[in-house]
Amino acid sequence: MRKVILSSLFLIPLLGYSQTEIPDSIEGKELNEVVVEASNQRTSSTSSTYIPMSRQKNTASDAISLLSQMAIPQLNVDPASQNVKTVSGQAVSIFIDYVAASAQDLSGMRTTDVKKVEYLIYPTDPRFRGAQYVINFVMQKYEWGGYTKLSADKWFGVNRSEASVYSKFSYKRMTFDLYADEIYLTNRHTGTQSTETFRFPDLYGKGPQTVERVSIPAALRYRNNSNDITFRALYNTDKTQISNTLSLAFTSIPRNDATTSLTYANDFLPGSTAKSVASSNNFSLNYNFEIYRSFGEKLGMNIESRYNYDHNTSNSDYTDNDFRIINDAKEDMHYVSATPCLVWNPNNHNSLMPYMHAEYSTTKINYFGNSPSHQDYDIWGYMAGVKYTYQQSQWSAGGLVGWVYADVDLSGTRIKDNYPQGNVFGTYSPNDKNQVEITYAFGKQVPDTYQKSPNMLQQDELMWYAGTPGLDNYWNHRADATYTWLPNNKWQLSLNGAYFIADNRVTSIYTPTAPNGTMLRQYLNDGNFSWTTVTANATAKFLGGKLIARVSPMYTHYSTTGEYAQKMDGLQCTAQLTWYFGNFYLFGWYTTPRKDLSQTSGIKDRTPSRYQLQIGYGKGAWRASATAYNFLRSSWESSRETLTSQYYQFDRRTYGTAQHMRFQFSVTYTFGYGKKIQRGNEVSGSGTGQSAILK
């Protein structure tokens, strides 16, 4: 049966090879050029609409590249990490024609099909699932046919290769999508160099001791190979949308090995060479069913249901002379959820959205090696609430209030909790050039499953780590104020101020309470964590939009209490410049060094500046680009982390590929077939799931 299904799937991209794309039936005529200064951007109290320029669509290789070139003022786009966030740093839900999109969906987009990009605040359409901030790509539609897109990426300086194929075929009311990719990465420069200081009141019964350990990586080897394949069938009419998606994802890390030189300042142990040999495999099967139904202008319904299965294995073997630690684990996880929501719009001003959510996951983990055990996790979660929005022509206001109930069983330890969550918001737009938004949100943060693990594992001669089953959920509060100004096509400005606080948050605490008085890293509720930010995005367009400049400064103030009580300030600025000439473009991007304070560990993280130059070409079916990233940095150091606590501190340098120079060459070829009238969304790989294995 498996062979029959796969054979039928692979027929989809082949359907178009003998066909060509049929142009519109209206004959085009050459006209004399007429220059009109038309607005390609406008805003209201709940949305902003941006129309990408033809040169941007023709040169952008994917959706993220298009958003970066458009420089939408309410968004921050990191071209290196491919992250898209609001100007205040909040997550953005991205949709393509009202269907949720993943990173791979966006990479497979045919950018010339983009008609407009909508930025929505608290949208009332049930297909957006109650998301706070939404980007929705409105696309060209196909009556029948579709397109196939082939993409390839090769990195030099960092040994990484990527290839993907996406194909869409539409016929009448049905659309079929097939996506497959492969990513291969090898690296010999991943690891950490650290100086650690341990303060033991009574180590091995020999009284107080202070031990300083210096770790220097001597040999490193890492290899990663991942594959995704996804198939989706979509039925779409004016009032009904039914989507069925099946995806498989596999990630293999056969080598994650390190040889480290260890020295001790006070001769606690003789100098030695430690070896760590590790590997892991992750397999994920995901099925998603979603149905949307409109019952007229006043009533709509959306139901989403999911099933995920994950199988994960990890192996770790640490040796230092005669000392050896083996930590192996196998995990099987099943997850199922259902999320129905209903939208009732009794008139043009009021919108009411009641919603529910139910989920259940069961996880079985077997630990082997020095600390063998068996863990069973069963988690039930329920949520219900209502969202209300009131809209006038120039302003809107509303809020969401809901209740969450959780029932967690961690190998016999039962934890039950229930709490409210919600938000309120208000927007004001006196005209299509100005927009003001104010929001406040509150809720509880649920610790990750691995943080609640009852298991305790040994890391090395001096360090153990463990979870805490009785961790408390902790309150989060956030307030934002954002102003956006769009005076004309040449200028854009967005300003934001935000404040966030987590009360009695979960963080890593180090205490000398492990066997024989050694150190234990354990997750505990301890102290408050807060930050305040002030951010600006300013964009200018010259030469009729052929030259676009943008600058984005940000100030951050951190404050924590508890074990890691401290205050810290950070200032960062990002600048980018894009120049279009003919079928080419030149893109430059630079961001200054950054300082961050971790909410969950008390670690201060300092990352160096990042920069890149990219030249790209786009014409017809072809897109190509060459990128030089951090081209003046030969160091493999990604960040410098420091931590100070009562019993333990470290100064650690992390090495990897993130900040090292690399040269990337990308090419895509897209060919279409059929007739452009009806257009759907793209499908992508789902990626592997999150593991509950203690780490």
How many helices, marked H, and strands, marked E, lie in the chain?
4, 40
CA proximity to 86, closest of 73, 76, 100: 76
Please, what's the largest Cα pairwise distance for the chain? 93
**204 falls within a domain:** yes
The residue behind tokens 């029959």 is 4
- What is the predicted pLDDT for the residue at 1? 36
- What is the predicted pLDDT for the residue at 691? 60
Pairing mode, if any, of strands 299-320 and 323-344?
A: antiparallel
CA proximity to 325, closest of 513, 214, 461: 461
- What is the predicted pLDDT for the residue at 441? 95
For the record, the structure tokens of 461 come out as 């001669």
**25 falls within a domain:** no
**61 falls within a domain:** no
Residue 650 is inside which H or E element, if any?
strand 648-655
3-state secondary structure of 534: strand
CATH number for the domain harbouring residue 229: 2.40.170.20
Q: Which amino acid is located at 464 in the chain?
A: W
**294 falls within a domain:** yes
- What is the predicted pLDDT for the residue at 689? 55
**124 falls within a domain:** no
Domain that holds residue 250: 147-675
- What is the predicted pLDDT for the residue at 690? 58
**1 falls within a domain:** no
| φ, ψ (nearest 5 deg) of residue 11 | -70, -25
* Calpha distance 303→347 (Å, rounded): 23
Counted domains in the chain: 1
CA proximity to 474, closest of 431, 514, 526: 526
Residue 385 is inside which H or E element, if any?
strand 373-391
Pairing mode, if any, of strands 604-607 and 594-597?
A: antiparallel
Q: Are 388 and 399 in contact (CB under 8 A)?
A: yes
For the record, the structure tokens of 335 come out as 């997850």
* Calpha distance 196→263 (Å, rounded): 11
**89 falls within a domain:** no
Mean pLDDT by 10 residues, the chain (695 residues): 31 33 39 48 87 92 91 90 89 90 79 92 86 91 86 94 92 89 92 94 92 92 94 90 94 94 84 93 96 91 96 95 91 97 92 95 94 92 95 93 91 86 94 94 89 89 92 94 92 96 96 96 96 96 93 97 95 96 95 94 94 94 95 94 96 92 95 65 48 58
**26 falls within a domain:** no
The residue behind tokens 């049905």 is 174
* Calpha distance 430→393 (Å, rounded): 9
* Sheet bearing 114-121, strands edge to edge: 41-43, 47-50, 114-121, 133-139, 93-96, 99-100
For the record, the structure tokens of 454 come out as 């009852």
* Calpha distance 609→614 (Å, rounded): 17
